[in-house]
Amino acid sequence: MNEVAGRNAKGAIGALMLVTGLSSSIFWPTTAFLTGAVGWRSTCLLYAAAMVLVCLPLYTFGLPRRVASEAETASASDRSVATPPAGGTFCLVVAAIALNAFVSFGFSAVLVELLKAQGLSTTEAVAFGSMLGIVQVAARAIDFLGGGRWDGITTGLVAGTLLPVAMLLLIVGHGSHLAIAAFILIYGLGSGALAVARATIPLVFYDKSAFAKATSHIALPLNLISAASPPILAGLLTRVGSNAVLELAFACSVGALVLLAILGRRRREVGIIATP
């Protein structure tokens, strides 16, 4: 998106997030249906075939070719007013993104089972879980329609405050339908906006020419934490219980919020403002 859209990358990423946000609302019920009809192994094979026959050709032939050289894309007009951050700032960016990703990717994998552990039937858990994608898209739409008035850190700070509240509601709600509905709404709004923030936070500190390199360095720890999160949360859920999952998610969310607050202060120190 940075290569294709340039300085409009934040808006382009937000538009992409609007589409991808409905994936769980569409494919959780679809997966439940396919699993009941043909079994989980055949369902996995069907999705693998879709990746090879649909996604791979789109990546190979659908993406526009780069027409500008690296030197051209690094022109002075594309550079932000900020200088590249020091190593400590980069570590804070990575840690904040990784902690939020740990919660988001972990919950996307275990949410249905987490809701079942709260006392819902399988049908109810899938129904509540499927509503999450719609709420997330609504949050991303608000950010997108806002026209980029907030940068990634400001979006992360506002959205990040919702996640601990959502965890506490589910902990004290004791499986009531009202508490679960409130959790889906608040968590969906927060996680939906944070998905955009995770992709755009590096734009706050890096100009266009450095953004791709910074993102590539963030990708490794982000992918590792995203891969580790589902089995960690699933293990806690099966061995300790749902409250342990929620408490760990609460701690990670609060930690990410603190790191974002520190990054917000550093942003001001280098003269970057939250609105254009």
- Dist CA 142 CA 44 (whole Å): 34
pLDDT of residue 232: 95
Pinpoint the alpha helices (H) of 58-176: 70-73, 87-117, 122-145, 152-160, 162-173
- Measuring CA to CA, which residue among 52, 36, 35 is closest to residue 44? 35
Q: Provide the 8-state DSSP code for 67.
A: -
**Share above pLDDT 70 across residues of the chain, in percent, rounded to a whole number:** 79
Write the pLDDT tens digit of every residue in 121-178.
988 998 888 888 788 877 777 666 655 567 778 888 988 899 999 999 999 988 889 9
Percent of the chain with pLDDT over 90: 36
Q: Which of 141, 149, 152, 146 is nearest to 214 (CA)?
A: 152
pLDDT in tens, 5-33: 666 666 677 677 667 767 777 888 899 89
Where is average pLDDT lowest: 4-18, 68-82, 86-100?
Answer: 68-82
Is the CB of residue 201 less than 8 Å from the CB of residue 97?
yes
Q: Which residues contact 86 (CB under 8 A, 6 or more apart)?
A: none
- Cα-based angle 185, 116, 127 (whole degrees, multiple of 5): 50
Q: What is the pLDDT of residue 59?
A: 84
User: Count of residues for the chain?
Assistant: 276
- pLDDT attached to residue 193: 83
Residue bearing tokens 């009202």: 178
Using left for φ > 0, alpha for ψ between -120 and 50, and beta otherwise, residue 272 falls in beta
Summarize the confidence of residues 39-59 as an average pLDDT.
94
Asked whether the beta carbons of 150 and 275 are under 8 A apart, the reply is yes
Q: What's 55's DSSP letter?
A: I
CA distances from 236 to 110, 223, 242, 246 (A): 11, 21, 8, 10
Domains of the chain, first to last = 2-269 (1.20.1250.20)
Look up residue 276 and give its DSSP letter. -
Q: Which two tokens stand for residue 194?
A: 């944070």
The predicted structure's pLDDT at residue 83: 46
Mean pLDDT over each residue of the chain, to the nearest integer: 81
Q: Residue 108: what pLDDT?
A: 86
Distance between CA atoms of residues 17 and 35, nearest Å: 27
Higher pLDDT pick, 59 / 268: 59
pLDDT of residue 178: 92
User: Any idea what DSSP says for residue 98?
Assistant: H
Find the angle CA(88)-CA(89)-CA(90) to the nearest 5 degrees.
90
Average pLDDT over residues 188-200: 83
